[in-house]
Amino acid sequence: MSSSSICKPAKKSVSATCSGDPRRARPRGARLAAAALALLLLAGCGSEPVRQVEAGLRSVKESIQSTFGGGNKGAPALAAGIRQYDNGDYRAAADSLQLALDQGLSASADRVTAHKYLAFIDCASGREQKCRDEFGAALRIDPDMELAPAEAGHPIWGPVFRSVKAQFRGKAGGGS
């Protein structure tokens, strides 16, 4: 292969365009499908590593869906809500974040983020029960969710999150 071989992803396509080595021009979808098939063969086991692989596959699926148009209509509203939150416009942020959830966010990480920011807004506004409800909604989507260190150390919502997470763990670990 010459040093001038270049492989660039084609815009809005599932294949790569390569000059030089034609073996490098494989459809992305085929590579993902092959990887998914290999990982699914491991799915017969119920071990923790396999569950982690399955979670990774769900993430890849969500990423593909959001990239190729599967139910991510709320993404612009989520971005706007985070921007409004960062600018201190909490009422508008709450409206945008709720709109994002209502319109649909295909990636679970995006849904968790929307609920997390809504929880922050509710806690800071003195609506502790709504704050708890939003953290609970986020934890139902991702039970392993954690706050960033700066978020977890916040004097208002940090303790609320820890309390909700402890209750959530207690329900998950207590059976029933």
| pLDDT digit string, tens, across residues 59-98 | 665 555 555 455 689 999 999 999 999 999 999 999 999 9
Rounded Cα distance, 19 and 160, in Å = 55
Average pLDDT over residues 24-51: 55
Rounded Cα distance, 62 and 110, in Å = 10
pLDDT of amino acid 23: 46
| Nearest residue to 28 via CA among 11, 6, 5 | 11
Return the number of other C-beta atoms located less than 10 Å from residue 43's C-beta.
12
Q: What are the sequence ranges of the domains in the chain?
A: 8-67, 75-171
Fold (CATH) for 75-171 = 1.25.40
Eight-class DSSP state of 10: P
- Per-state percent for the chain, helix, strand, coil, to nearest 5: 65, 5, 25
Sign of CA dihedral 145, 169, 56, 11: negative
- Would you say the pTM of this structure is higher than 0.75? no
Residue 115: both structure tokens together: 């609920």
DSSP 69-122: TSS-TTHHHHHHHHHHHHTT-HHHHHHHHHHHHHH--SSHHHHHHHHHHHHHHH
Question: Is there a contact between 122 and 91 (Cβ–Cβ < 8 Å)?
Answer: no
- pLDDT tens-digit profile of 99-146? 999 999 989 999 999 999 999 999 999 999 999 999 999 999 999 999
